[in-house]
Amino acid sequence: LDHERECLLLSSPTDEPVCHLPERRLLLLGGAGAGKSTAGNTILGEEVFQTGTETLESSVGHGEVCGRRITVVDTPGWGTPQESPGRFRRETKHGAALLWPGPHTILLVLPLVTDITDLKRQALKDHLEVPWDL
Ligand SMILES: Nc1nc2c(ncn2[C@@H]2O[C@H](COP(=O)(O)OP(=O)(O)OP(=O)(O)O)[C@@H](O)[C@H]2O)c(=O)[nH]1
Ligand SMILES: [Mg+2]
Give residue-wise pLDDT tens across range 86-117: 777 788 889 989 999 999 999 999 888 878 88
What pLDDT, on a 0 to 100 scale, did the predictor assign at position 131?
Answer: 64
Q: Which domain holds residue 74?
A: 20-128
pLDDT band at 1 (very low <50, low <70, confident <90, very high): very low
| Global model pTM greater than 0.75 | yes
Q: In this predicted model, what pLDDT tens digit does every residue of 30-73 receive, in sequence order?
A: 988 999 999 999 999 999 999 999 999 999 999 998 889 999 99
Query: Has residue 13 been placed in a domain?
Result: no
**Ligand 1 centroid, distance to 14 Cα (angstroms):** 39
Within a domain: residue 3? no
Residue 6 counted as domain residue: no
Atom of ligand 1 nearest to the CA of 54: 24
Instruction: Find the CATH number of the domain harbouring 61.
Output: 3.40.50.300
Closest ligand 1 atom number to CA of residue 40: 15
Q: 51-80: string of b/e by CB count within 10 Å (b at 16+)?
A: eeeebeebbebebebbebebbbbbbbbbbe
38 lines ligand 1 (CB under 6 A): yes
